[in-house]
Amino acid sequence: MAKLQILEFPDERLRTKAAPIEVVDDALRSLIDDMFETMYDAPGIGLAATQVNVHRRLLVADVSEDRSEPLVLINPEIVERDGVQTCSEGCLSVPTITADVTRAERIVVTGLDRNGESIRVEADGLLAVCIQHEMDHLQGKLFVDYLSPLKRQMVRKKLEKRARLEREHAEVRA
């Protein structure tokens, strides 16, 4: 397994719309394993392929405390949604930033698992938030898109400054 690089806002590649996956093979399973390793290492509770610069409809998630509920969704589609909930969200592609986002309280998602078998997942609470957040990534959408333009501009400035400081520190270390 290998840790993958996570793209960070405002990287334009995060805006790419992912294409459906046609074949679930060993190469894809290897990518899935790498995505889990990357997500757990970060640490995070969800990761979309878009975030590791693979523009295909795939996400992984695990909202458990002890990494006991790994979920793989290939070509996910929301077939039912109910209710609303507002949750403070963060994102591995938007480090250090959190913001309240309102989403469906309960969803039903269909897709394929890592063996290419059809699955149907009923999710509520945090898992429902996580799946909706990751599915947004597959559409090129980020949680900061739900903020006002002014607030999003502040986030962009903050992260650009952070990236600049990191580059300068890297140069000092070199």
- What residues act catalytically? 134
Question: Does 49 help bind Ni ion (rule: CB under 5 A)?
Answer: no
Q: Kindly indicate which of the ranges 67-75, 85-93, 119-127, 161-169 contains the residues binding Ni ion, using the contact rule CB under 5 A.
A: 85-93
Cα→Cα distances 169→71, 106, 173, 174, Å: 37, 44, 6, 9
Which residue's CB is nearer to Ni ion, number 72 or number 91?
Answer: 91
Q: Which helix (H) or strand (E) holds 170?
A: helix 149-173
Asked whether 14 and 140 are in contact (CB, 8 A), the reply is yes
Question: Does 91 help bind Ni ion (rule: CB under 5 A)?
Answer: yes
Q: How far is the CB of 91 from Ni ion (least distance, A)?
A: 3
Asked whether 21 and 108 are in contact (CB, 8 A), the reply is no
Q: How far is the CB of 116 from Ni ion (least distance, A)?
A: 25
Site string for Ni ion, 9-28 (x = CB under 5 A): --------------------
Which residue's CB is nearer to Ni ion, number 24 or number 51?
Answer: 51
Residue 70, token pair as written in the block: 């790994």
Number of residues that bind Ni ion (CB under 5 A): 1
Calpha distance 43→62 (Å, rounded): 11
Which residue's CB is nearer to Ni ion, number 91 or number 109?
Answer: 91
Question: Does 159 help bind Ni ion (rule: CB under 5 A)?
Answer: no
Which residue's CB is nearer to Ni ion, number 70 or number 140?
Answer: 140
- Which residue number is nearest to Ni ion in terms of Cβ? 91
Residue 146, token pair as written in the block: 């739900």
Give ∠ CA 33-5-147 in degrees, rounded to 5.
Answer: 105
Q: Kindly indicate which of the ranges 15-23, 32-40, 84-92, 118-126 contains the residues binding Ni ion, using the contact rule CB under 5 A.
A: 84-92
Q: Which helix (H) or strand (E) holds 36?
A: helix 26-41
Q: Which helix (H) or strand (E) holds 54?
A: none
Residues near Ni ion (CB under 5 A): 91
